[in-house]
Each structure stands twice: as structure tokens, then as C-alpha cells.
Amino acid sequence: MGLRINRRVKLGQGFSANLGKSGVSVSKRSKRGSVNSRGTGTVRLMRGVSWMFGKRR
């Protein structure tokens, strides 16, 4: 079982910085989803259902 360490810092206007073991990424949230600087994102299709896209680790 792995241990994940992650810290999110709000930067304002829907932006946040995610600090983790592998580095830093910046993400932008909107009403329907989010996209981050590493090329992954999430789109909310309906309540309780979302679609994730982009690179896998």
C-alpha cells in the first residue's frame, strides 16, 4: 500500500497549485471541470458522473 502526500494551495480566481512528492502542478477549475498543467483534466457530465482525460502516470 502506497502513501500519497499532497497539498493544494489556492491562488485565487479558480487557480490552485498542487504540491506533491513528484513536483508542482497548477490547475484551473471551472463550473464544469478542471484542467492542470500536466495535461490531465476532468469534465463533469452530470451529477455524480465525470470523465477524466489525459496522460496516465
Type of residue found at 30: S
Query: Residue 43 has what pLDDT?
Result: 93
Beta strand pairing status for 49-53 and 23-29? unpaired
Q: Judge whether 6 and 16 are in contact, CB under 8 Å.
A: no
Task: Flag whether pLDDT at 51 surpasses 80.
Answer: yes
- Residue with cell string 493544494: 8
Query: Residue 49 has what pLDDT?
Result: 93
**CA–CA separation, 36 and 29 (whole Å):** 9
> 5-50 pLDDT, tens per residue?
788 899 999 999 989 888 898 999 998 999 988 888 999 999 889 9
